[in-house]
């Protein structure tokens, strides 16, 4: 079954036809590292992690590049506010980003280029654009891209260049020929961080960084370029203009964009007080719950973050783990070894091949859980184990069910009663029952219930999980 992907450039679903058969080259715009990653970053990270997992599961040799912007105006302003070298600031937040990504179960990209390591490539591309007449060195020392020179400007975003011209303004300190022009190289003021170039000391503009890094890592033309919804214009539009003017070739064949994140149906914004970092959310919810929440909507659709929706995600994920509880270590199989003629596998694969439709794929997993529970109730442990292995194998493509069932069901969130306290109270309850002090035993059960702990008694003893 061929994979079809919605291409922002064509505004339609198109079959994935890699430039080189069997191999896929994908570049995704990563973080600008001046602060902790927020929920919008998590959406992009998880979306393209699922995409990369599925492409690899289908046997493609994927080269996944996700860059780091470690020099720009925001970084320099924050470093100045903190009175620290910008390298110290970016190093700290790169480490934090990696920690957040690891907790969310995101696999590392094959390459993670940093803008500061590609200054020479940026300078070379900028010089090429000047030589071809697509850029110019202005009187203020900056180098600007000449938007009017590129005939295809606006083809990704659908924006009309003439309409952009009517609404554009030129700042007092700029020396642009056209208000739509954008900076490729920014001349440094006294004392600013800078690198040498043919146009004097300065630093790169944001857009040219990705053009240089992507082409250096993947070549002039590659298969997929992705990012967040806010990057379509101007960032990705400008990348196309720079790259195609410099190389004379089509830049990326397919453009993919994750949907926006809203908080309680409002745009996420620090000014509205509804801005959440990944680590703030992970203090309250298990990482798999957050990941499940993010994949429960199609990657292109807007997603609404709310306490209610996180609770729903938690409950749905618990259904999977309850079905796996008590079955021991389930040996999952590589996706390539699964039988595509098996109805569950066929439907899961069809969902993922249709623009990576994770919600439809999750619906298949729910049906497997239903049949697992029916098999368990009927005493058919062989079928139950067989379905459990299939569940785990398919879930691995989505990056969920990575935790042991008992461990997941007992994981505490911030402020919750600890496992040690729970075990101690269960031991006290067992002793009370042994002493025939049933009132005390009931009191302990009620206390644990009030503190969000469910006890499950059986002939083998008492187990527990968090409500």
Q: Within 10 A of 268 (CB to CB), how many other CB atoms are there? A: 17
Q: Which of 398, 392, 396, 406 is nearest to 292 (CA)?
A: 398
- What is the rounded (10 degree) CA torsion for 444, 445, 449, 453? 100
210 is in an annotated binding site: yes
Q: What are residue 363's DSSP bridge partners?
A: none
Give me the residue label for tokens 């067989």: 386
DSSP H stretches of helix in 249-380: 278-282, 287-295, 307-324, 343-353, 358-377
Structure tokens at 393: 């194998």
Contacts of 389 (CB under 8 A, 6+ apart): 330, 331, 332, 333
235 is in an annotated binding site: yes
Q: Is the dihedral of CA 21, 23, 25, 26 positive or negative?
A: positive
Q: Within 10 A of 348 (CB to CB), how many other CB atoms are there? A: 28
DSSP secondary structure of 193-213: --B--TT-SEEE-HHHHHHHH
DSSP state of 143: E
29 is in an annotated binding site: yes
Angstrom distance (rounded) from CA 105 to CA 291: 8
267 is in an annotated binding site: no
Angstrom distance (rounded) from CA 355 to CA 433: 57
Q: For the chain, count helices (H), then strands (E).
A: 16, 15
Q: Which of 211, 192, 190, 182 is nearest to 123 (CA)?
A: 211
Q: Which helix (DSSP H) or strand (DSSP E) does residue 301 occupy?
A: none
Q: In this structure, are residues 6 and 256 in contact, taking their beta carbons and an 8 Å threshold?
A: yes
Give me the residue label for tokens 């180098």: 143
Structure tokens at 179: 């208000």
Q: Which of 290, 289, 142 is nearest to 205 (CA)?
A: 142
Checking phi first, is residue 328 left (phi over 0); if not, alpha (psi -120 to 50) or beta?
left
23 is in an annotated binding site: no
Q: What are residue 224's DSSP bridge partners?
A: 26, 254
Q: What are residue 14's DSSP bridge partners?
A: 5
From residue 265, how far is each of 108, 277, 278 by CA, in Å? Answer: 31, 18, 19
Binding-site positions read 29, 210, 235, 239, 270
Binding residues for ATP: 270
């Amino acid at each position: 079954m061929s994979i079809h992907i919605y291409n922002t450039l064509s505004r339609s679903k198109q079959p994935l036809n890699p430039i080189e058969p069997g191999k896929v080259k994908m570049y995704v715009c990563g973080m600008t590292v001046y602060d902790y990653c927020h929920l919008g970053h998590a959406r992009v990270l998880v979306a393209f992690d699922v995409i990369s997992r599925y492409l690899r599961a289908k046997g493609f040799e994927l080269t996944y590049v996700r860059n780091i912007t470690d020099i720009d105006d925001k970084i320099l302003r924050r470093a100045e506010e903190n009175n620290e070298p910008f390298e110290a600031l970016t190093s700290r937040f790169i480490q934090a980003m990696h920690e957040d990504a690891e907790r969310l179960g995101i696999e590392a990209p094959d390459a993670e280029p940093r803008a500061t390591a590609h200054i020479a490539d940026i300078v070379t591309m900028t010089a090429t654009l000047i030589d071809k007449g697509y850029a110019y060195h202005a009187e203020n020392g900056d180098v600007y891209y000449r938007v009017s020179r590129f005939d295809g400007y606006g083809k990704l975003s659908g924006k009309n260049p003439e309409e952009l011209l009517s609404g554009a303004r030129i700042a007092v300190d700029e020396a642009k020929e056209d208000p739509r022009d954008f900076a490729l190289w920014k001349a440094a003021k006294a004392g600013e961080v800078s690198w040498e170039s043919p146009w004097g000391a300065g630093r790169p503009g944001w857009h040219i960084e990705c053009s240089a890094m992507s082409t250096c890592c993947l070549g002039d033309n590659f298969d997929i370029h992705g990012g967040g919804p806010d990057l379509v214009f101007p960032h990705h539009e400008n990348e196309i203009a720079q790259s195609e003017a410099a190389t004379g070739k089509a830049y990326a064949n397919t453009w993919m964009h994750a949907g926006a994140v809203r908080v309680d149906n409002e745009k996420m914004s620090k000014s509205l007080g509804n801005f959440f970092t990944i680590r703030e959310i992970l203090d309250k919810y298990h990482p798999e719950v957050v990941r499940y929440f993010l994949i429960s909507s199609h990657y292109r659709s807007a997603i609404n973050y709310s306490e209610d929706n996180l609770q729903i995600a938690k409950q749905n994920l618990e259904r999977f783990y309850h079905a796996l509880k008590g079955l021991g270590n389930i040996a999952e199989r590589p996706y390539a070894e699964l039988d595509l003629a098996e109805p569950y596998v066929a439907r899961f694969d069809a969902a993922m091949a249709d623009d990576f439709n994770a919600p439809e794929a999750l619906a298949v997993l729910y049906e497997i859980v239903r049949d697992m529970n029916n098999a368990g109730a009927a005493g058919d442990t062989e079928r139950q184990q067989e379905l459990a292995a299939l569940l785990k194998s398919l879930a691995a493509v989505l990056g969920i069910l990575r935790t042991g069932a008992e461990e997941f069901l007992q994981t505490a969130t911030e402020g919750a009663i600890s496992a040690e306290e729970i075990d101690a109270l269960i031991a006290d309850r067992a002793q009370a029952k042994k002493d025939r002090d049933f009132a005390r035993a009931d009191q302990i059960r009620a206390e644990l219930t009030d503190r969000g702990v469910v006890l499950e008694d059986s002939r083998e003893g008492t187990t527990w999980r968090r409500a």
